[in-house]
């Protein structure tokens, strides 16, 4: 058989090899076709081994199914697909380690928090498919948000489904109780709710993941309820509390927050964190990988917001108790005092300034909210609840006078950090900046908020910032429609980074 005949694999049983190799139509006359006879070429015909009927090669009983050539081809395709998948997952994993992970923890925390968790994640994900998929899910989603990489959003959701299935399968095993105390399981659950917060497509699934994380922490800490000694345990506790804070405050326009606040769990955890300083003699900032500022500030944010939106659940005494607690933080702002003390071995870093600014913004927001509640009560109604009912139980704060001391102080803070990328990278400042936006009426002040939230999106690509900004834009636009003469349309144009559809 010639080289031409060996290369050619016919789709039909007709035509000589010579005409087929020359891509000429053959009249199929035997023993020599007219075209070969006229051109003086040797007319060669295929034998049975050269003929392959490709119509039924996929049929299980096809005689070609198990041929060496077919097997090699299938194995090659399978190997290529597996190799491509491994290469892609390696690329996504590197993105998690090199770009995404650093955005999850605060920059001023002790290296044992930062280096310890990522090292453990890398070790555990080799054997823990749920954790591996949780890592890939977050990184793929972040790649999509950062580079609009085709297919990454779908791939992120596919990894999300795989992580859930793998986690459910693990917890269905006979040794599931032991797994609940395994760092890989808790890390996987934490990354699941983090994706709902900063990624796309799973925000509605945060509540069950958050509840699961709370239950896992309760189980693992039940053995030593008075103190924690491992960096990961503190990191996990702070991460869960921060997510509880975000879930319990939600968007100001939400009719109901997506997480029901459990005050008892919070107070127990707050006390546990207070008693568990892993690096004594050092600043609070260094000991806090996620919260960064005193835990009571987050609790007060939940309580004051809930009182503002649900006044009928509280009486005047409850409001007075909150007022007393808020006044202590107001004094800190008015006296320009810090909440943290640096050790002799520590030097003042930018992160310390960011955390102090964030704590000030929290305190200023509490003060503004309580002032608005007090002013509503002074309208003359027989009770605070009746006053709020008459005002239709406002869901969002209204604009406060721009000459109030709280607004002036808050604007000073925003102006100080407006061109600071490290400030915009610091996630604990996102909620107070967002909430402050509801109190503003001056266009230049509103522009500061919009610029800040847009910058946070540009630097982190966390979906939290555009969600918050979209909520603000809706309120600002409604105020513009209600009082068009108060605002300049040229500066009011919405510049939200993306449609949240």
Measured torsion, CA atoms of residues 167, 172, 178, 179, in degrees rounded to the nearest 10: -10
Output the six-digit token pair for 67: 């041929």
Q: Binning pLDDT at 50, 70 and 90, where does residue 394 land?
A: low
Average pLDDT over residues 486-491: 48
pLDDT tier at 76 (50, 70, 90 boundaries)?
Answer: low
| b/e 358-391 (16+ beta carbons within 10 angstroms → b) | bbbbbbbbbbbbbebbeebbeeeeeebbbbbeee
> Of the ranges 153-157, 240-244, 392-396, which one carries the lowest mean pLDDT score?
392-396
Domains recognised in the chain with CATH numbers? 3-57 (4.10.240), 86-280 (no CATH), 293-501 (no CATH)
Cβ pair 469, 453 in contact under 8 A: yes
Can you give the pLDDT at residue 310? 87
Q: Which of 290, 353, 287, 343 is nearest to 110 (CA)?
A: 287
Which of the pair, 36 or 176, is modelled with greater confidence? 36
Q: What is the pLDDT of residues 322-374, one digit of tens each?
A: 999 999 999 999 999 888 888 777 888 899 999 999 999 999 999 999 999 88
Burial pattern 238-251, b for ≥16 Cβ within 10 A else e, equals bbbbbbbbbbbbbb
Which pLDDT score, from 0 to 100, does residue 404 have?
Answer: 97
**Statement: residue 269 has pLDDT above 90:** yes
Which tens digit of pLDDT belongs to each residue from 7-47? 444 444 468 888 888 878 888 877 788 888 777 788 887 76
Confidence at residue 493, expressed as pLDDT on a 0 to 100 scale: 47
Residue 403, pLDDT above cutoff 90: yes
Band of residue 83 on the pLDDT scale cut at 50, 70, 90: low
Residue-level pLDDT at 211: 95
Query: Hunting for tokens 């127990």 — which residue is that?
Result: 268
Summary mean pLDDT of the chain: 85
**68 falls in which pLDDT band (50, 70, 90)?**
low
Among 72, 17, 55, 66, CA closest to 7: 17
Residue 482 Cα to chain centre, angstroms: 35
Lowest model confidence (mean pLDDT) among 140-149, 219-228, 263-272, 400-409: 219-228
Measured between alpha carbons, how far is 33 from 15 in angstroms, rounded to an integer? 9
Gap between the Cα atoms of 330 and 344, Å rounded: 28
Q: What is the CA 322 to chain-centroid distance, rounded?
A: 32
Specify which residues 51 forms β-bridges with: 10
Alpha-carbon gap, residue 231 to 389, rounded angstroms: 47
Record the tokens describing residue 180, joined without a space: 């609940």
- Whether 193 shows a pLDDT value over 50: the answer reads yes
Whether 166 and 179 have beta carbons less than 8 Å apart is answered as: no
- Return the closest-CA partner of residue 130 out of 201, 203, 212: 212
Q: Provide the greatest CA pair distance for the chain.
A: 115
What pLDDT sits at residue 483? 75
Task: Tell me what pLDDT residue 73 has.
Answer: 57
Give percent above pLDDT 90 in the chain: 61
Look at the block and give the residue holding tokens 């699934």: 205
Listing DSSP states for 143-193 in one string gives HHHHH--TTHHHHHHHHHHHHHHHHHHHHTSTTHHHHTT-HHHHHHHHHHH
Write the CB contacts of 23 (distance below 8 Å, at least 6 apart in sequence): none
**Cα distance between residue 443 and residue 466, in whole Å:** 20
Q: How confident is the model at residue 499 (pLDDT cuts 50, 70, 90)?
A: very low
Give CA separation, 37 vs 17, 43, 247, 406, 421, in Å.
14, 8, 85, 102, 81
- Scan for tokens 């987050």, then name that residue: 298
Beta carbons of 109 and 289 less than 8 angstroms apart: yes
Nearest to 479 by CA among 383, 404, 394, 408: 394
Q: How many residues does the chain have?
A: 501
Comparing 40-44, 92-96, 209-213, 426-430, which segment has the lowest mean pLDDT? 40-44
Under 8 Å between Cβ of 27 and 15: no
| pLDDT digits 0-9 by tens, 249-259 | 999 999 888 88
- Average pLDDT (393-403) is 87
pLDDT at residue 51 is higher than 70: no
DSSP for residue 458: H
What whole-number distance in Å separates Cα of residue 475 and Cα of residue 140? 33
At 78, is the pLDDT very low, low, confident or very high (cuts 50, 70, 90)? low
| Two structure tokens written together for 186 | 């808790």
Please report the pLDDT score of residue 454 as a whole number.
98
Q: How confident is the model at residue 307 (pLDDT cuts 50, 70, 90)?
A: very high
Predicted confidence (pLDDT) per residue in 55-66, tens digit:
444 444 444 445
| pLDDT for res 406 | 98
pLDDT over 50 at 165, yes or no: yes
Given a cut of 70, whether residue 234 has pLDDT beyond it is yes
Torsion of CA 422, 281, 263, 361, to 10 degrees: -30
Q: Which two structure tokens, joined as six digits, stand for 95?
A: 């993105």
Q: Using the predicted structure, report yes or no on whether residue 221 has a pLDDT greater than 90.
A: no
List, for residues 113-146, the tens digit of each pLDDT value: 999 999 999 999 999 999 999 999 999 999 999 9
């Amino acid at each position: 058989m010639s080289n031409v005949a060996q290369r050619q694999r016919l789709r039909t049983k007709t035509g000589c090899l010579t005409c087929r190799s020359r891509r000429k139509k053959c009249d199929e006359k035997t023993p020599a076709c007219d075209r070969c006879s006229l051109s003086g070429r040797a007319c060669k015909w295929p034998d049975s081994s050269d003929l392959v009927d490709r119509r039924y090669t996929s049929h299980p009983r096809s005689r070609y199914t198990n041929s060496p050539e077919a097997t090699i081809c299938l194995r090659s395709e399978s190997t290529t697909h597996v190799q491509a998948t491994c290469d892609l997952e390696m690329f996504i994993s590197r993105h998690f380690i090199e770009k995404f992970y650093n955005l999850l923890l605060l920059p001023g925390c002790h290296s044992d928090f930062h280096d310890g968790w990522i090292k453990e994640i890398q070790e555990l994900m080799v054997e823990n498919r749920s954790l591996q998929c949780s890592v890939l899910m977050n990184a793929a989603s972040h790649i999509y948000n950062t580079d609009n990489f085709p297919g990454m959003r779908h791939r992120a959701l596919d990894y999300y489904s795989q992580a859930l299935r793998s986690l459910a399968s693990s917890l269905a095993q006979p040794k599931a109780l032991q797994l609940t105390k395994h760092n890989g399981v808790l890390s996987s659950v934490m990354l699941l709710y983090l994706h709902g917060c900063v990624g796309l497509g799973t925000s509605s699934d945060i509540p069950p993941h958050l509840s699961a994380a709370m239950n896992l922490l309760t189980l693992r800490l039940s053995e030593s309820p008075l103190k924690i000694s491992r960096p990961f345990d503190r990191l996990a506790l702070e991460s869960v509390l921060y997510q509880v804070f975000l879930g319990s405050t939600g968007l100001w326009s939400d009719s109901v927050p997506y997480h029901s606040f459990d005050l008892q769990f919070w107070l127990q955890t707050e006390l546990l964190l207070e008693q568990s300083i892993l690096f004594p003699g050092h600043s609070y900032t260094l000991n806090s990988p996620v919260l960064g500022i005193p835990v009571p500030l987050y609790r007060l944010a939940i309580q004051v917001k809930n009182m503002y939106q649900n006044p009928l659940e509280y009486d005047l005494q409850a409001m007075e108790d909150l007022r007393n607690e808020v006044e202590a933080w107001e004094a800190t702002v008015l006296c320009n005092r810090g909440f943290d003390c640096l050790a002799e071995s520590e030097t003042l870093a930018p992160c310390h300034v960011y955390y102090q600014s964030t704590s000030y913004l929290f305190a200023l927001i509490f003060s503004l909210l309580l002032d608005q509640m007090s002013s509503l009560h002074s309208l003359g109604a027989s009770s605070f609840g009746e006053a709020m009912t008459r005002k239709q139980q406002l869901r969002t704060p209204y604009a406060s006078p721009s000459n109030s001391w709280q607004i002036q102080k808050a604007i000073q803070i925003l102006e100080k950090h407006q061109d600071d990328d490290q400030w915009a990278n610091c996630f604990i400042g996102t909620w107070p900046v967002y909430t402050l936006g509801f109190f503003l009426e001056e266009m230049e002040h509103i522009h500061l908020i919009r610029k800040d939230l847009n910058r946070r999106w540009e630097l982190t690509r966390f979906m939290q910032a555009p969600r918050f900004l979209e909520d603000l834009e809706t309120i600002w636009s409604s105020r513009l429609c209600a009082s068009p003469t108060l605002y300049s349309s040229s500066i009011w144009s919405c510049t939200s980074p993306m449609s949240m559809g």
